[in-house]
Structure 1
Amino acid sequence: MKIMAVLAVLLISALCMGAVSAAGDYTNVSNEGSAFVFEKIALNGTETGNTSTVLTKFSEGSNPTAVNTIYADTNGNFSLYESSVNGQYGTYYATSTWDADNMSKVFHVSIWYPELSLKAELTTSIDGTTGKTSGDSVEGKTINKNTNVTFLLNTPMVGPANKPGRFVSSDNKNLSAKIVFTTPVGGKTTDFGVWFGAPQKFGALTVNQSQNNAGSARPGEDATAGTYTAQAEFTNYKPFSDNAKKSNTVSFTVQSTSLSLTADKDSVVRSNPFTTTIQGDSKKVYFIYVEGTDENQPYLLPGQSGYQSQYNTIPVTSSNSPISPAVNNNTVDVSGQKYHSWGYFETDASGKRTVQFNTQDNTDDKTYTVRVITVNGNVKGDDYDTVKVKVEKGSVTISASGDGSYYLGDEIKLTGTNTDSSYIFLFIDGPNLGYSDGVVLKNLPDQTAAYSATNPIDVKTDNTWEYKWDTSNIALDTGAYTIYATSKLTNGKASSAIKLTEDLNSKFNVYGTVLVSGTNDYYAVKLSDSEYATISVSLKQPFLSANPSGTVVAKGDKIYIRGNAEGNPNSLYLYMFGPNYYEKYSVSVETDGSYEKKIEIPSSLASNQYFVVVQHPMYNGQFDAYEEKGVFMIRNTTTGGSQQGSFVVTGANKLQGSQAADALTKMIDSSNIDDIYTKLTFNVEEAWIRINTVGDQATGTKFTISGTTNLAVDDQVLVEVKSSSFDVTDKSSTSMTSGVSQAVKVVKGDGTDNVWSVEVDSTNWKLDEYTVIASGIEADVSTTQNFNLVEKINTPTPTATSTGVTPTTTATATATATPSTPGFGAFIALAGLGAVALLVLRRN
């Protein structure tokens, strides 16, 4: 059992040591020295205060407290387990309490983690005395086989094993590390690449406290292409080599050193850019250019990354380069600015450089060759590559809102696309225009030749465009027209170009095209030299309609004037004339051209015929025939207000009724103005309601009570049916209620009169005489009629049909009948007939 206990103690001790070295000697650390996780340390025996059995780290601030304590073993030494340090790095004191006055005298050491990190960077220069200088990181990038790379070790706290404050045996004076490379096929080695013809070894690297230059190398021509990883680790100091974490991993890809040039697309629509990518050596300057000397060929985007302006004076001659000497002077004129179609660019750490070329709307539609050449000092090398990019014409589309037929005054929304240029020029062709090849649409009503456009439409970044064309004041006749949308300034639909001279307008040169190389002559090109699209539109005269809700309107009622006004007017005027009566109304028009005006008819208005004129302002948007202070006048648009004719509608000498309406329509008919009108008439009458004869009705039946009226459609009539008798009813009586009260709408009849009706159910009504009262709700008018509710309506007995045989009879004297008094129903019927006769006589 004792043996088992000893083994258990030994096992626990081994586990507690964790990854700490099993070396027998402790590293002696003096006051203010440094120690590291995984080490076993002894406080230097010659130092004061070394007898403490604890090392304590205190918090910051005015009242520090212990944040971590490490206890000594039975020998008074300390094993710096990772778990005991617990991530609390920094200064530890050989005491468990804080004494602000004496802490500087207390034995203390700094404890750190043995951190190791690795970098791999481009070698930008080599100094024979100081070694290599590094530049951009190659982490995650692609390098060529001849790219020089410098590897850097960084150990910010760890230095030599015998640095001040540490006392170790002579075999641990130098701390070293290695870099392990994993090849693309999974092999591991500490050798990588070559340096000055010899293999470069990274297996024994001295570690200093600062960043260490571990060495430089290039992969070499024999290197396997693919992705490599590199990772550093400690070697000769067992507490670190056995336990400390390895460095970060650096990954990079090695590829062939051959020069290549690729493009992001095989073809591009002109006015759009394309990019080419150089793949060559890291941090190397290359010359790239577009072959040929076209004046409008693709050109370099200015200010690009990697552009080497200092090399622009290097001569390009046939003696040191396979390119033409003309390239050195080849520039492209873009809006008055000169841009090169060639340049010098330096690749990045991975040997890449992306170079953008721009095209214009006048770049020739053909295939261009872009070439890249190596630069060796001031001489072009023999290594080169090319790529071809085709520049194509773009396209133009145009469409219009609506169905292609429009009233003058409408707004027509023109939209489309343009992938050929940054502008859209619009011109229109049609009957009786000032120029046979078309006029600028945006300049209307001024008619100017299509080649004089100085106000094109900008094309948006998504290649779309739009223009809202207001046709209210364009001075065009009605008819069919063709609208052209072009990507260049053209000479209308002409088959020849026209030179834009200074006597036209110098601004034309902004949009014109240079057709003759080497000159400053600008042209509006022929239509076939531009991308274009067309659309046909039909312009027609606006019309105006007006309809009254009825031809007769009752006093105290209302009338609606409804209609349509084409041509997109903001408003209309409605004039109402009658005997000693004039009123003017402004009427709003809806977006669909419809309008409605409700006119209240006063009860005091005279019964008579009234006239309405509705006026449309037409193209110029103003009412050229107008009323002011009771006087109608015609506006003279050329002189700004002088009268061409007038008449009075209020006060002395006024025109009334039909005379005033006729005078106004004749005024609007004047050829000097563009207004149009429509007219209508209606009669105003005393309000009336009539009830059609009801007649006797059998109890328990359903029947209809109806009538006619001159009240407006949709007016309401209150129909009441109630008993004509008057009986005193006992409070306790449970007699049934008879009658009905209901509001019904007036509807349009077959003739001039409107009608109304109500359904009546006489179930459970008592036999009696009933009164029907029909009253206007909106107009003060009513009428009544009585009818009987009887037990049964007798149906007349049919007369027997003769057999055709005349019997022989004996003649007898005929008795004289005794007259009898007509019943109530018969009296009502006769009264009704009398009323009808009277009505006929009155009408006659």
Structure 2
Amino acid sequence: MNSKLISTLIIVTAILCIMCPAQADGQITVTALGDGLYFFDEVIKLSGTNTASDDVYLFITGPNLNQNGEKPDDFGRAAITGDEDTFIKTPTDVDGTWEYALDAGGLSLSYVTYTIYAVTEPNNKGDLSGGMFDTVTIVLKKKETATKVNVETETVKNGTITIAASGDGKFYEGELITFTGTNSESDYVYLFVCGDALDANGDKFDDPGTAAATGKENTFVTVAADSHDKWEYELDTTELDLKPGTYTVYAVAEPANKEDLSGGSFDTVSIVLKKPYISAQVSKLVIKRGEELTITGTAEGMPKAIAIWALGFSYWNGAETGSMVMIVPEDDASYEYVLD
């Protein structure tokens, strides 16, 4: 081996975190101005950051739309991967920010919840695997009946039961989601979930694949309301068999699935499940003997620790102790490791 040069191969994995491919440098975000509830004569101001590409591509999903998304300002036109004309394309500014004003007055939509996707490349929902994207949920309501509610929660019926999710409604696989609410209608709250690849009328929330069946309590997650009509439920997503995407969680006063909710009391909240990911980069690709090599990156998804493997000719960075080198990420998900 050349005594002046050391070639190093870095392999990074997440421990206690669902494995996924490392993504390229950069990220993309999207938010909607306001509380997420919009009337049809309003302008929805979308904005965010994009440090991965020169343009942002927007598409929308929801009830009665193409399952892989449609162009937000031209409904009926399916978003097609590779065809920029089927997306709203908006440029990224030099400071990495972007914005777009969507006029709700011209939208041919129903009064329900929709999800807007911001993608770094013109890829529809069916082709997002491995790509970078972010989502935001919006609720469209009739002006004469609308009441302001949280972007992630839409109260229905007579308001005797409510549900809310902890945080901003976006969670990485492996995180703990806390659901809370009130129920003055009955002693128990019955939870089920709807979304892609699930039964049209809902599945048992902690056991996707078990269809929620009206009248059968064991096909729902059952939570007791306390003497103050409050309830709480924690869901560990570590073993939850749900793909990344947007899901709607129903809280019902009786064990009834989506098809049989007419006349009953219920409430819903939307959540977004995202895959955790790890990025890694080295300070130099080639170093001289005696120089330090710094490894930095991001470990999104709240892993308890990550393992750093440095492998080379007759070399392993964990040989001295006989075990892998473990690094705990900072609160902002960043990490750093210096190899002497």
TM-score (norm: length of structure 1): 0.19
Report 1 or 2 for greater relative contact order, CA contacts < 8 Å, sequence distance ≥ 6: 2
TM-score, normalised to structure 2, is: 0.46
Larger radius of gyration: 1
